[in-house]
Structure 1
Amino acid sequence: MNVPISLIITVYNRERYLAKAIESVLAQTLTDFELLILDDGSSDRSVEIARHYAKQDNRIKVIVAPHTGRGQALCNAIAQTTGQYLGIVDSDDLLAPTALAETAYLLNQQPDVGMVYTDYLVIDEKGTVLGLGKRCQIPYSSMRLLVDFMTFHFRLIRRSAYKQVGGVNPEFKAAQDYDLCLRLDEVTKIAHFKKPLYYYRTHQDNISHLLQLEQIQFTQMAIAQALQRRGLSEKLVLEVEVQAQYRLRPLTSAARNT
């Protein structure tokens, strides 16, 4: 199936949010797309949920794979798609109904742009909007991207640009999208569509919470490699500040009994 846009969802134990993510894709006003869902070895009902929607809509393809981590899962998933444009939706987030229509229109009208990213809204576990995301409010620049990941969500990428930079680096267990954006920034024009077309869900099972130290480690590696590629490693030194935060929460009855 050759379509203009390929959307990718990789999922690992996200049964609580996956259905809503899929439904937000199916609600797009631009309907000519494919949705590839790759399950990365889930042990919950994620595969069952994905297959339920695939039975109802032939634009959806489900792949079940052993757990490899998100970097390799994204590589494997994108390799199975055909669209001229690529978009990634996290399995716990949501797309606004016009996200594809508006970002694809920009790429169609501006052939020199290899990636467009949008503003995003932060939502909680229940889907309540908490406000405009902080990252997308940072002005875009190639140099600023080296320290601030403002090209956060949603992104629509030309496959030609994706191939030019070698795609997602599977060695990155975290910060894969940041590393990809840094490399894209070096070969193509990036546009900021200043309208919130993505809903980023924050909850305690976010990768940024569960893998915080790995996130910092791989972010640092992505920046260091970008400095090397750009010939700036002998002029600039990367300094990383990690601020520890401590919280207290009630102990559950199950945990008290262990």
Structure 2
Amino acid sequence: MPLVSVLLPVYNAERYLGPAIESILTQTFTDFELLITDDGSSDRSLEILQSYAAQDTRIRLLSRENKGLIYTLNEMLEQANGEFLARMDADDIATPDRLALQVQFLRQHPEVVCVGGAFDLIDPQGRTVQWIPMPEHNDEIQQMLLIGRTIINHPCALMRRSALQQIGGYDPDMKTVEDLDMLLRLGEIGQLANLPDVVLKYRFHPNSVSAQNILFQSQMAERACQKAWTRRGISGYYDSPQPWYRPLPEPDSQQQFWHHYGWWAFCNGFRLTAAECGLKAIAAKPTTLKSWKLLACALIKPIPKPVSNLQTVLQPEKSV
């Protein structure tokens, strides 16, 4: 039996699917199976998946009608043979030594039931915009989870299959926050950790979540926290602001998104990307001075030293 089962649910992901699959198939760690479920895609995803499955026997492909992410994850949990489960999304890219580093860590730390890691934010074109380190130790991770912040990025996670089975898998009632709820429950039977190493290139999209879903997700996250407070017998508080990288349709939210995205791109040397973002921020809200300053910096200012820390993701400061 393989040591690791990689869980890759797919729904209409034809644009980025190839690089995601190849990043797993080319891992330096090779003792794995790649479980892929096509959850009723209407684009070319299934055709692409069938092509890869025909070339590599480590791929176990299932295709059926759409049943949603949580159903799919629990279905894959039942199918998995590995001692460890690695989550993967269809638009991200795993670093070549991701599985090797995470498996080694869990073998060396039997008290840890789930380990994530740092990640790079990449844009739709695959350009690195920012490096995001994550809190590494159990106490800090647990504290942030309990206020509603999913501090182990789900597609970065490697979990013990026995631990996920022990908590009953993913809760079907926790739609849009199944990862936060799962991590809170895992944290009640073992320790959580993040590696300092980058394990994933995480692709984000400005239009990936609708305004209605963002509000619903926030409400569900607070509910997941409340359930955890009750289980643990503690008094908690919810403090998870809307992430800037999931903007609302309103001009203020769009401007904020393009401003911070552009500033990060500039700090990483992507002048053209930063200038494009400046123009989009200006288009969203022409009267905002900092959007014009971003555009000016992208065009004429020397590249500064990169600014990379978790706080800029959770509560971004005015950078320009």
The change in CA–CA distance for 1:192 and 1:59 in structure 2 (over 3 A counts) is: same
Aligned to 2:141: 141
Q: Deviations along 1:78-126, whole A, 9 cap, x unmatched? A: 2111100001101111100000000001111222211111111100001
Say if 1:209 and 1:24 are closer, same or farther in 2 by CA, change over 3 A: farther
| Contact preservation (8 Å) 1:169, 1:180 | yes
| Aligned counterpart, 2:219 | 217
Give how far 1:146 is off. Answer: 1.0
Instruction: Give the one of 191, 195, 198 matched to 2:197.
Output: 195
Aligned-pair CA distance for 1:66: 1.6
Match in the other structure for 2:304: none
Provide closer, same or farther for how the CA distance between residues 11 and 237 of structure 1 changes in structure 2, counting only shifts above 3 A: same
Percent of matched pairs sharing the same residue:
36
Residues 37-57 of structure 1 show CA distances to partners (whole Å, capped at 9, x for unaligned) of: 111111111111111100000
1:119 aligns with 2:121: no
Contact in 1 for aligned 2:136/2:196 (Cα 8 Å):
no
CA distance in 1, matches of 2:118, 2:16: 21
Return the offset for 1:144. Answer: 2.3
Indicate if the aligned counterparts of 1:204 and 1:210 stay in contact, CA closer than 8 A. no
Residue 76 (1) aligns with residue 75 (2): yes
Counting only pairs closer than 5 Å after superposition, residues 159-178 of structure 1 correspond to structure 2 as: 159-178=161-180
Task: Give how far 1:178 is off.
Answer: 1.2
User: Aligned letter for 1:189?
Assistant: Q
Deviations 1:177-211 (A, max 9, x none): 11111111111011221111111101145357783
Q: Secondary structure at the match of 1:38?
A: strand
RMSD (Å) for aligned C-alpha atoms: 2.2
2:122–2:130 CA contact under 8 A, matched in 1: yes
**SS of alignment partner, residue 19 of structure 1:** helix
CA contact (8 A) 1:69 1:173 kept: no
Per-residue deviation, 1:239:
6.2
SS of residue matched to 2:125? coil
Instruction: Pick closer, same or farther for the CA change 1:205–1:25 going to 2, 3 Å.
Output: farther
Whether the 8 Å CA contact 2:136–2:194 is kept in 1: the answer is no
Question: TM-score, normalized by length of structure 2?
Answer: 0.71
Which residue of 2 is the match for residue 253 of structure 1? none
Summarize the Cα distance change of 1:228–1:143 in structure 2 as closer, same or farther, 3 Å threshold: same
Which has the larger share of strand?
Answer: 1
2-structure distance, mates of 1:93, 1:39: 16
Question: C-alpha distance in 2, partners of 1:38/1:197?
Answer: 22
One-letter identity of the residue aligned with 1:77: M
Could you tell me how far 1:219 is from its partner in structure 2? 1.3
Report what 1:179 is aligned to.
Answer: 181
Deviation (angstroms), 1:214: 2.9
Tell me, yes or no, if the aligned pair for 2:141 and 2:151 is still in contact at 8 Å: no
- When the two structures are aligned, how many residues end up with a matched partner? 246
Q: 1:219–1:19: structure 2 CA closer, same or farther, 3 Å change rule?
A: same
Query: What is the rounded CA distance, in whole Å, between the counterparts of 1:179 and 1:208 in structure 2?
Result: 21
Match of 1:53 in 2: 52
* Paired position in structure 2 for 1:26: 25
Specify whether residues 91 and 225 from structure 1 end up closer, same or farther in structure 2 by C-alpha distance, changes over 3 A only. Answer: same
Stretches of structure 1 lacking an aligned partner (at least 5 in a row): 251-258
1:158 is aligned to 160
Q: 1:207 to 1:82 in 2, by over 3 A?
A: farther
Report the Cα offset of residue 14 of structure 1: 0.7
Secondary structure in structure 2 of the residue aligned to 1:150: coil
- The alpha-carbon distance between structure 1 residues 65 and 211, as it changes in their structure 2 partners (threshold 3 A), is farther
Does 1:39 find its partner at 2:38? yes
Distance 2:216 2:51 in 1: 34
